Amino acid sequence: MTRAFGAGGHLPRAAHLVGWGAYAPSQVLTNADLARMVDTNDEWIVKRTGIRERRVAGPHETTASMGAVAGLRAIAVAGMDPDEIDLILLATLTPDYWMPATAALVKEAIGNTRAFAMDVMAACSGFAYAYATAQAYIASGMARNVLVIGAEALTRFLDFTDRGTCILFGDGAGAVVLSASDEPGGALGFELTTEPSGAYMIWVPAGGAAAPPSASTVAGREHYIRMEGKETYRFATKTLAATALASIRKAGLAPSDIDLFVPHQANIRIIEAVAKGLGLPMDKMFVNLDRYGNTSAASVPMALAEAVNAGRVKVGDHVCIVAFGAGLTSGAVTLQWTADPANGLRAESIRPEDVHIRMPEDWNSVDQLPPALAAILAAPGPVEVDLSDVVPDEPAATNGAAALNPAADGNGAADRNAAADRHGAGPADPNGSGPGVHEHSPGESRAARGAAAPGGAGNNGSGTPATAGPATDGTVAPMREHEEVNS
């Protein structure tokens, strides 16, 4: 059997999706939390986006660590040993560092010795682009088993004074294993587009070669995500249905043949527009953005894993994944499902606390959260919060916020430590008992070296050491956590 691929070509070898998995950090940031930081409210966010809450990576969690957990889960679901993977592709716009590739750190963390590993940068379309890249490697015979990861630590790159962006994004990771097969099935049609006229609609102005990090770029908050929301929305609603339709047609199918769409989880109104554009009911669209927000390259694989584990897909079904993002890019993959959905249970064997990213020798225990966000997450209810470090010109609080401001009184340091504990020392994963993914090379801290290290999800891009203080004392503050995606 031959399958249509692109404009009249043929896939020499099929790539079956044999493993899937996801990881969501346990810290929850609700709309109400955000309303305590910026001028917004739950009603506006829910009505305009559909998002109710999102997850925030804890201390020691980075794009690599979250990607490694999701990747190991996908490998477990595939019933493989990590060393059977011969290519690791990691889609992200929030790499741990500019170099090396985050995929290299993941390779080590999952205990793989054979694979070559690289990152794919196509913003929120990254997972679709990486999927297509994996397909090409498998089809050409250059790889047999490919681990495709989408992972993001977006909260490290959000300006929590900008209500137009900080309400939208969250952290997490999803992954699939694609494996060469002589049987029919797997991806049947791809569509990938890039529209550079919109290159500056969603972007991070500084930190790259065009605007290297400097005191002035940091002062200008240019290392954070900026977005023309309305223009991006227009692009998405215009493009997504067309991109999905092109991939469906290249697969030789019609929209009505698709059993489930897994769209990029950016905005419920955008997903409704895709359904309308394809003439399909919303019950064909899988939606989980209410709980995770927009996790960029992680959003589609996280949603796919959840959909499969929720029984939304069976063998033989046609699934279409579709995404859009900075670039401006869009990508869609139409595939025929071949794996037993029950295999998803195997992911439960992977516990985040067993996955270690080897950190640099001088890495110390640090909390990469902006202090004001850490304070919000630590506080159980309404509280006056010191926003002096996130809101320019905002005076430091002197009364109710004092307990959250180490400089304000003697209790501050202890409470800050409690805040850090809330993110790291408590149970980060309902499947496990430990602190989630953690580093294991303590030593002199970056702060001690005075290293300003903007860029990379391993720090906050602020140009200041990404630390909330010394290692915590082991006490656990009250936590408001949800079960993670354990697919």
The interface region with ligand UT7, picked from 55-63, 146-154, 229-237, 385-393 by CB under 6 A, is 229-237
Number of residues counted as binding ligand UT7 (CB under 6 A): 20
Rounded least distance, CB 432 to ligand UT7, Å: 30
Q: Which of 164, 205, 277, 427 touches ligand UT7 by CB under 6 A?
A: 164
Q: Does 266 bind ligand UT7 (CB under 6 A)?
A: yes
Question: Given 294, 364, 459, 460, which residue is catalytic?
Answer: 294
Q: CB atoms < 10 A from the CB of 111, how many?
A: 14
Would you say 226 or 356 has its CB closer to ligand UT7? 226
| Alpha carbon distances (Å) from 67 to 94, 272, 289 | 12, 29, 19
Q: Is 166 a catalytic residue?
A: no
Instruction: Confirm or reject binding of residue 230 to ligand UT7 (CB under 6 A).
Output: yes
Task: Verify binding: residue 31, ligand UT7, rule CB under 6 A.
Answer: no
> H or E element: which one contains 172?
strand 172-181
DSSP assignment of 88-144, as one string?
Answer: EEEE-SS-SSSSS-HHHHHHHHTT-SS-EEEEE--GGGHHHHHHHHHHHHHHHTS-S
Stretch that binds ligand UT7, among 3-11, 63-71, 226-234, 389-397 (CB under 6 A): 226-234
Whether the bond into 100 is cis, omega within 30 of 0: yes
Alpha carbon distance 336, 133 (integer Å) = 18
Q: Looking at beta carbons, which residue is closest to ligand UT7?
A: 229
What are the CA-CA distances from residue 90 to residues 38, 54, 67, 128 (Å)? Answer: 32, 22, 8, 11
Q: Is 146:87 a contact under the CB 8 Å cutoff?
A: yes
CB nearer to ligand UT7: pick between 138 and 262: 262
Among 6, 32, 46, 48, binds ligand UT7 (CB under 6 A): 48
For the chain, the residue count is 487
Q: How many angstroms separate the Cα of 26 from the Cα of each of 41, 56, 425, 430?
A: 23, 7, 12, 9
Strand-pair category, 53-56 with 27-30 = antiparallel
For residue 399, indicate whether it is catalytic: no
Residue from 233, 261, 337, 363 binding ligand UT7 (CB under 6 A)? 233
Catalytic, 294? Answer yes
221 binds ligand UT7 (CB under 6 A): no
Nearer to ligand UT7, 165 or 364 (CB): 165
The tokens describing 288, both together, are 């989980």
* Beta bridge pairs of residue 336: 186, 318
**Smallest distance, Å, CB 242 to ligand UT7?**
16
325 binds ligand UT7 (CB under 6 A): yes
Smallest distance, Å, CB 163 to ligand UT7? 4
In whole angstroms, what is the distance from residue 223 CA to residue 204 CA? 6
Contacts with ligand UT7, 335-354, as mask; x by CB under 6 A: --------------------
Active site residues: 124, 264, 294
Residues that bind ligand UT7 (CB under 6 A): 40, 44, 48-49, 124, 163-164, 167, 202, 227, 229-230, 232-233, 236, 266-267, 294, 296, 325
